[in-house]
């Protein structure tokens, strides 16, 4: 019996079917399984369910007779129907659950991961080489740049610096309400999307599945061709502006100069190597400035890659980390993406973006959504699950380090040196979201008290002992002593409870 090769729904680009070390063979038959149980298990954003099914079905249509595409209740059932007891190969899946499943089946040989820059063993050797020293993303990033000869000349970083980060932290430009860069690529739906929409409607009507968020025209690439067009348009027309305003937020311009490429990378439609190479080529051709190109390369070769590696390196217990002992359940308005129930303009605006598109850029994720969850003491595992379900680019591997570590500080600082949360002053400085808000970032008690400002002090107070030992937090913690209205603030936050702010 000849082997067949199994493609998961996030292994859709040509780099997952191109033979390398004989896997898969040039003509190896392929198997894809659309397992309905995945959609039943969690209440995903409707746009995410649509995107993933659309991308899988588009890939199956491209592969034609070479693939057996089975719609089944579970992976096991689908595999039985598609391959029987035939031996299979698969590239290393992206979640522990999927890896556990393929290993338990007995008939599947797991090959190396594709779609990332660094093999697991190399990362492990690098990380183990640190002994008890802290792992730092910045060190990892330098190591990847050297190893992959990215933005390097004669062994040194081009421009004489590794990092142009301090050039990329600018507040939004003065009086403009949009950044004014050319719009990102938008795909056009086709008959496969019609079919997906028909199926989702049907399953939802039958009560088999249920979603959050709004349906709408598909905004993210579902095919390699669309993903390449999106990459091309970004590099040609939008990359130059990526640098300075990467951390800024504008109410009327949620995308600004961000690439919108995360879902394509995470579906495997794009390979990270081609994304960073194209950005570097743009700089070498004088088509984009170094600070923008370096910033983009750092996001992919630094952050994305680091997060992927840490997911495996930190082990299964990482998802249960909860050093701050945050136990509160997520309130209904947040679970339902009820943006209209929210008065705080920043949170309401960002929740509406998530409700309508399943996407928002990294600062709203970190400093608006995640920061609110942290300040309210919500259970980090439930927050992780919420991000996983509500974002078009959310997968287990990318959620755990980003949410448990980066956003909720539930790992006590293995991923970051301090909790990422702030008062309203930060939001005010980095966005236009405080203008026209019912609250004032400078006020911490009373009717106009900004929920972020008050929430920040209440958070510091709650974790005073733990944070006082953190060199980056002891100054703000000492600031608590200067607050004459701390008791009133704490009572106010207690009263606010789970109400939408
Ligand atoms: P750009 O700003 O254009 O960045 C370019 C690329 O860099 C992204 O496409 C992405 O592939 C990569 N990248 C940058 N930072 C990260 C990171 N921290 N982790 C992984 N990739 C990164 N990213 C996801 O892909 N899926 C998620 O579910 C996800 N959840 C997040 C949750 C929180 C709380 C935070 C703080 C960040 C999360 N990120 C996630 C990282 C980042 O916010 C998104 O990758 C980015 O906003 C996607 O938009 P973009 O493609 O326009 O990114």
Question: Tell me: the pLDDT tens digits for 31-67?
Answer: 999 999 999 989 999 999 999 999 999 999 999 999 9
For the domain covering 4-111, report its CATH number.
3.40.50.620
Rounded to an integer, what distance in angstroms lies between the CA atom of residue 354 and that of residue 432? 18
What DSSP string describes 308-333?
A: HHHHHHS-GGGGG--TT---BPPPHH
DSSP SS3 for 109: strand
Cα 162 to ligand 1 centre (Å): 20
Q: Is 89 in the pocket of ligand 1 (CB under 6 A)?
A: no
17 vs 20: CA distance, rounded Å = 9
Q: Are 328 and 372 in contact (CB under 8 A)?
A: no
Residue 360 C-beta-side C-alpha neighbours within 13 Å: 27
- Mean pLDDT over residues 453-460, rounded? 97
Given a contact cutoff of 8 angstroms between Cβ atoms, the answer to whether 212 and 46 are in contact is yes
Please name the helix (run of DSSP H) or strand (run of DSSP E) that holds residue 224, with its range, or none.
Answer: helix 224-233
Phi and psi torsions of 253, nearest 5°: -140, 75
> Cis before residue 500, ω within 30 degrees of 0?
no
Separation of alpha carbons 211 and 399, rounded Å: 19
Instruction: Please tell me if the CB atom of residue 262 comes closer than 6 angstroms to any atom of ligand 1.
Output: yes
The answer to whether the pTM exceeds 0.95 is yes
Does 210 have pLDDT greater than 60?
Answer: yes
Structure confidence at residue 157 as a pLDDT band (50, 70, 90) = very high
CA of 246 relative to ligand 1 center, distance in Å: 12
The superfamily in CATH containing domain 320-496 is DNA Cyclobutane Dipyrimidine Photolyase, subunit A, domain 3 (1.10.579.10)
Name the DSSP letter for residue 446: S
How is the chain split into domains, by residue range?
A: 4-111, 120-185+221-314, 320-496
Residue-averaged pLDDT of the chain: 95
Listed in sequence order, the residues at least 6 apart from 409 whose beta carbon sits closer than 8 Å to its beta carbon are 323, 324, 374, 416, 418, 419, 420
Is the minimum distance from the CB of 168 to ligand 1 under 6 angstroms?
no
Q: Does the beta carbon of 255 lie inside 6 Å of ligand 1?
A: no
Q: Is 295 in the pocket of ligand 1 (CB under 6 A)?
A: no
Partners of residue 449 on adjacent β-strands: 440
Q: Once rounded to an integer, what is the mean pLDDT over residues 472-486?
A: 93
Cα-to-centroid distance, 298 and ligand 1 (Å): 11
According to the model, what pLDDT value does residue 219 have?
Answer: 97
- Tokens 């899946």 label which residue? 93
Is the C-alpha dihedral spanning 170, 175, 177, 181 positive or negative? negative
- DSSP bridge partners of 381: none
Q: Cβ(353) to ligand 1 under 6 A?
A: no
> Given a cut of 70, is residue 173 above it in pLDDT?
yes
* 22 φ, ψ (degrees, to nearest 5): 80, 0
Residue 397 predicted with pLDDT over 70: yes
Question: 3-state class of 185 per DSSP?
Answer: coil
Beta-strand runs (E) in 144-291: 152-153, 156-157
Q: Which CATH architecture best describes the domain 120-185+221-314?
A: Alpha Horseshoe (1.25)
């Amino acid at each position: 019996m000849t082997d067949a090769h199994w493609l998961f729904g996030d292994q859709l680009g040509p780099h997952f079917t191109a033979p390398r070390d004989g896997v898969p063979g040039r003509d190896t038959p392929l198997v894809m399984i659309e397992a309905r149980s995945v959609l039943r298990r969690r209440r995903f954003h409707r746009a995410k369910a649509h995107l993933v099914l659309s991308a899988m079905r588009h890939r199956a249509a491209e592969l034609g007779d070479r693939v057996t595409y089975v719609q089944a209740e579970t992976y096991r059932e689908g595999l039985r129907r598609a391959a029987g007891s035939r031996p299979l190969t698969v590239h290393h899946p992206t979640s522990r659950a999927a890896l556990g499943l393929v290993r338990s089946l007995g008939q599947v040989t797991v090959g190396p991961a594709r779609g990332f820059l660094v093999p697991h063993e190399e990362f492990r050797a690098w990380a183990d080489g640190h002994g008890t020293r802290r792992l730092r993303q910045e060190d990892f990033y330098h190591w990847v740049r050297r190893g992959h000869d990215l933005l390097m000349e004669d062994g040194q970083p081009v421009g004489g610096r590794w990092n142009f980060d301090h050039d990329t932290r600018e507040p939004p430009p003065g009086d403009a309400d949009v950044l004014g860069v050319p719009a990102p690529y938008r795909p056009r739906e086709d008959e496969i999307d019609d079919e997906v929409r028909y199926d989702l409607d049907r399953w939802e009507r039958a009560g088999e599945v249920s979603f959050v968020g709004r349906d709408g025209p598909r905004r993210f690439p579902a095919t390699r061709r669309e993903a390449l067009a999106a990459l091309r348009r970004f590099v040609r027309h939008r990359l130059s502006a990526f640098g300075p305003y990467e951390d800024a937020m504008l109410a009327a311009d949620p995308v600004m100069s961000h690439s919108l490429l995360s879902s394509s990378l995470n579906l495997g439609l794009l390979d990270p190597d081609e994304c960073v190479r194209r950005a570097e080529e743009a700089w070498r051709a004088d088509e984009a400035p170094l600070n923008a190109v370096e910033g983009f390369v750092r996001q992919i070769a630094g952050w994305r890659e680091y997060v992927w590696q840490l997911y495996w390196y930190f082990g299964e217990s990482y998802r249960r980390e909860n050093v701050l002992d945050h136990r509160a359940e997520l309130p209904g308005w947040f679970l339902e993406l009820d943006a209209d129930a929210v008065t705080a303009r920043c949170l309401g605006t960002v929740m509406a973006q998530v409700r309508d598109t399943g996407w928002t850029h990294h600062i709203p994720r970190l400093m608006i959504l995640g920061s609110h969850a942290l300040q309210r003491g919500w259970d980090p595992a439930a927050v992780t699950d919420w991000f996983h379900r509500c974002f078009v680019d959310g997968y287990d591997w990318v959620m755990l380090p980003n949410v448990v570590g980066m956003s909720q500080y539930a790992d006590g600082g293995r991923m970051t040196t301090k909790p990422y949360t702030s008062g309203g002053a930060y939001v005010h400085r980095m966005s236009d979201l405080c203008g026209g808000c019912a609250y004032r970032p400078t006020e911490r008690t009373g009717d106009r008290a900004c929920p972020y400002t008050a929430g920040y002090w209440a958070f510091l107070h709650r974790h005073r002992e733990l944070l006082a030992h953190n060199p980056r937090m002891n100054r703000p913690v000492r600031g608590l002593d200067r607050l004459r209205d701390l008791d009133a603030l704490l009572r106010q936050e207690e009263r606010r409870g789970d109400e939408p702010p």
